[in-house]
Structure 1
Amino acid sequence: MNIHFRKMLKPEENVVEALNRWENDTKLVPLTRPNKDRVELESKRIITMEDLYQRLEFHEIYLIFVDDQLVGEMNYMVDPPHLFKRTEGTAWLGITIGESVGRGKGIGYQALSYLENEMKRNGLKRIELGVFEFNTTAQKLYQKLGYSEIGRVEAFTYYQDRMWADIRMEKLIK
């Protein structure tokens, strides 16, 4: 299994297709985006090339490949307004392993390690992320990588007929 990463410099049709597939995958939606209620949780979203151009203005986006198959994407933005702890030079991290073939094989660990090195190379000193309270698999991964909880945003997302918190975690880059 050959895992590699590539920074996305401009939108690509195949990436838009993959993002649309992942954005509307009923198993992924609860894990990747906050939803205020069942209607929003079950709603379909369409990502366009223009959406991806706009996203590239504020995010550094990296694609995750296993062999030659696109299996996920990861990204970060610097000092966004939704940080829990406002510390200048903080990267807000996001990752999606969209294809099932890429899950449960340590790819997320390798991808995040790679992205942390990219952030360090770009002079960032701190990383913050949010992970939904029910997503214990991701929480364990982040803890394994050295992230620690710094707070919670209660009643943040709807899933399984109730509201759940968003756990905010941080890691200092050394």
Structure 2
Amino acid sequence: MTFHFTKVIEPTPFIVDAMNRWENNPDLVPLIRPNKNKKELEQQWQITLEEFKNRLDTHHFYLIYIDDKLVGEMNYMVDPSHLHKRAPGTAWIGITIGEDGGRGKGIGFKAIQYLEEEIKKQGLTRIELGVFEFNTRAYKLYQQLGYQEIARIANFTYWKNCMWSDIRMEKYLGE
């Protein structure tokens, strides 16, 4: 099994279809986007090819492959307004392992390491992320990779009939 990562330069309908499939997978929705209530949790979202092209103005997207099969995506933004600690030169990261066959194989670990290297190449020294408190598997992964908890934002997302916190974590990248 081989992992590899590819920067998205020009989106294709294939990529957009995969992202729409993951964005609307009921098993993934609670993990990848905040929801204020049950209605929002159940809402279907669709991104068009043009909208995805526009996102490339503010996001750096990378596709995640196992043995040439697309299984997920990761991305980062620089200094977005939703940072908890507004330190200039901060990358905000996100990762989605969208295909069942991509989970539990260590690809999240490798993908984050790859993304950190790409961020360092841009001269950035700090990364911040958010992980919902019920996503203990991701929280443990980020801790294992050296991320430190810096805040909890209460009542941030709805899942299983209650509201959960968003845990903000950070990591400073060494030289």
The normalised TM-score by structure 1 is 0.99
Structure 2 SS opposite 1:58: coil
RMSD between aligned alpha carbons? 0.5
Query: 1:11 and 1:51 mapped to 2: Cα distance?
Result: 10
What amino acid is aligned across from residue 119 of structure 1 in structure 2? I
Query: 1:43 and 1:90 mapped to 2: Cα distance?
Result: 31
Spell out, residue by residue over 1:86-145, the C-alpha distance to the aligned partner (whole angstroms, 9 max, x if none): 101000000000001000110000000000001011100000000001000000000000
- Asked if 1:92 corresponds to 2:70, the answer is no
1:1-174 equivalences in 2 (<5 Å):
1-174=1-174
Structure 2 SS opposite 1:47: coil
Structure 1 SS opposite 2:137: helix
What amino acid is aligned across from residue 71 of structure 1 in structure 2? V
What amino acid is aligned across from residue 98 of structure 1 in structure 2? G
Deviation at 1:50, TM superposition (A): 1.3
Deviation at 1:59, TM superposition (A): 0.3
* Structure 1 unpaired stretches of 5+: none
Deviation at 1:172, TM superposition (A): 0.2
* Structure 2 unpaired stretches of 5+: none
What amino acid is aligned across from residue 18 of structure 1 in structure 2? A
Query: 1:97 and 1:160 mapped to 2: Cα distance?
Result: 21
Query: 2:58 and 2:164 mapped to 1: Cα distance?
Result: 27
What amino acid is aligned across from residue 138 of structure 1 in structure 2? A
Query: 2:170 and 2:10 mapped to 1: Cα distance?
Result: 29
Identity percentage over the alignment?
61
What amino acid is aligned across from residue 88 of structure 2 in structure 1? E
Structure 1 SS opposite 2:56: helix
Deviation at 1:9, TM superposition (A): 0.6
Spell out, residue by residue over 1:51-92, the C-alpha distance to the aligned partner (whole angstroms, 9 max, x if none): 101111100000000011100000000000100001010000
Stretch of structure 1 that moved more, 31-40 or 48-57? 48-57
Query: 1:126 and 1:48 mapped to 2: Cα distance?
Result: 31
User: After TM superposition, where is structure 1 displaced by more than 4 Å over at least 4 residues in a row?
Assistant: none
Structure 2 SS opposite 1:142: helix
